[in-house]
Amino acid sequence: MRITTRVLLAAVFPVAMFPALALVSAASHADPATSFAAPNLSPTALRSLAATCAPCHGTGGKRENEVIPGLAGGNKDFFIGRMQAFKDGQRQSTVMQQLARGYDATEIAALGEYFAAQKK
């Protein structure tokens, strides 16, 4: 049997004696994507988040070239589906797979709404 720090602490310090240990233990094993602070989706923060797309997709999602698609005025559900496919590894891309993994579902949905509301 492999004895881990967690098993040793549980044996030495019962949770009833130290309830804070239970919280620390639970937090240390939480999914990193969900244990971080909730996204700031105020209008200003959302514009800043969308600005991270500008180097490739153009300012405000307005396409500047024919190789990389513009995002402005696109379908929100299409955007969300594509981003989720990149995030899950179902859609291959050199850059987008890595970028999509940095956004949670709330941020992806907010970006989808933001870009859908922009004029082409």
pLDDT for the residue 80: 98
DSSP structure string for 1-41: -PPPHHHHHHHHS-TTT-HHHHHHHHHHTS-HHHHSPPP--
Yes or no: say if 41 and 110 are a contact pair by the CB < 8 Å rule: yes
Locate CATH 1.10.760.10 in the chain.
36-117
Task: Give the tens place of pLDDT for each residue, 14-41.
Answer: 444 444 444 444 444 444 455 456 778 8
CA distance linking residue 69 with residue 32, whole number of Å: 31
Say what the pTM is.
0.67
Task: Give the tens place of pLDDT for each residue, 44-86.
Answer: 999 999 999 999 999 999 987 888 999 999 999 999 999 999 9
CATH code for the structural domain at 36-117: 1.10.760.10
Cα distances (Å, whole numbers) of residue 79 to 30, 104, 108, 111: 28, 14, 8, 8
